[in-house]
Amino acid sequence: MSSATIPVIAIDGPSASGKGTVAALVARALGFHYLDSGAIYRVTAHAGQRAGVSLDDESALATLARGLDLRFDGVEVFLNGEAVGDAIRTEEAGRAASKIAAMPVLRAALLERQRAFRRAPGLVTDGRDMGSVVFPDATLKIFLTASCEERAKRRYKQLIEKGFDANLAALFEDLSERDARDAARAVAPLKQSADAVLLDTTGLSIDEAVQQVLRDYRAASAV
């Protein structure tokens, strides 16, 4: 199978919209591979901080990104063979990822690495530019969102469940800021592409969102 014929479901959207959870469940339902592209930005920022590279040094970060020894196993992420899942899931790691994600040279360095995840029988991936830049020929593109209040509540619940400290008002502020930065950046800004289906999950359960994506996928692959 040439890689261009391998189906891809690209799910893009703002922070804490639930796209990662939905994407992983859709991948499981279809028996497809799953790529959490945000984790790649998070690991890159983490690796940079560990190596003492400034988060403003675009060319050093791009060089580091090209040579990153990164492996996914289910939801766990390994950097140089070490599990870094917990370290990269903090709000601070998210802010660092969002900062370096605005750098065009770094994004270009990560492009082929992301495309290599397109393997049979198919791929479900989530991020900001999966449908617009990384997999423009995706079988189905979804823009998954929810109100900022709802997303702040979901992120709060997620952090508390993991045993982290969390403050709802601070999370709301942080998400609004991150949305604004992701949407305003010059390269691969967060926005719904014309050919993406909008899925607003504000009043939906995770299962309802998953079922909707599966219905859209069946419809898209039937044409």
Q: In sequence order, which residues have a C-beta less than 8 Å from that of residue 188 and are 6 or more positions away?
A: 107, 128, 129, 132, 133
Q: Cα angle vertex 99, ends 41, 65, to 5°?
A: 35
131 scored as a contact of ligand CDP (CB under 6 A): no
Helices 58-66, 37-50: axis angle to 10 degrees equals 110
Q: Could you tell me the smallest distance in angstroms from the CB atom of residue 139 to ligand CDP? A: 18
Please pick, from the candidates 32, 79, 98, 135, the single residue that binds ligand CDP as defined by CB under 6 A.
98
42 scored as a contact of ligand CDP (CB under 6 A): yes
d(CA 71, CA 17): 25
**Beta-carbon-side half-sphere exposure of residue 50 (alpha carbons within 13 Å):** 14
Three-state SS for 126? Answer: strand
179 scored as a contact of ligand CDP (CB under 6 A): no
201 scored as a contact of ligand CDP (CB under 6 A): no
Please pick, from the candidates 97, 146, 196, 199, the single residue that binds ligand CDP as defined by CB under 6 A.
97
Q: Could you tell me the smallest distance in angstroms from the CB atom of residue 189 to ligand CDP? A: 9
* Joined tokens for residue 191: 């926005």
Please name the helix (run of DSSP H) or strand (run of DSSP E) that holds residue 41, with its range, or none: helix 37-50
127 scored as a contact of ligand CDP (CB under 6 A): yes
48 scored as a contact of ligand CDP (CB under 6 A): no
Number of residues that bind ligand CDP (CB under 6 A): 18
Q: Which stretch binds ligand CDP (CB under 6 A): 58-66, 73-81, 127-135, 215-223?
A: 127-135
Nearer to ligand CDP, 149 or 219 (CB): 149
Q: One symbol per residue from 53 to 92: x for binding ligand CDP (CB under 6 A), - otherwise; what is it?
A: ----------------------------------------
Q: Could you tell me the smallest distance in angstroms from the CB atom of residue 105 to ligand CDP? A: 14
3-state SS of the chain: helix, strand, coil percent to 5? Answer: 50, 15, 30
Please name the helix (run of DSSP H) or strand (run of DSSP E) that holds residue 82, with its range, or none: strand 82-83
Peptide bond into 104 cis (omega under 30): no
151 scored as a contact of ligand CDP (CB under 6 A): no
Per CB under 6 A, residues contacting ligand CDP are 15-16, 20, 37-39, 41-42, 94, 97-98, 101, 127-130, 178, 182
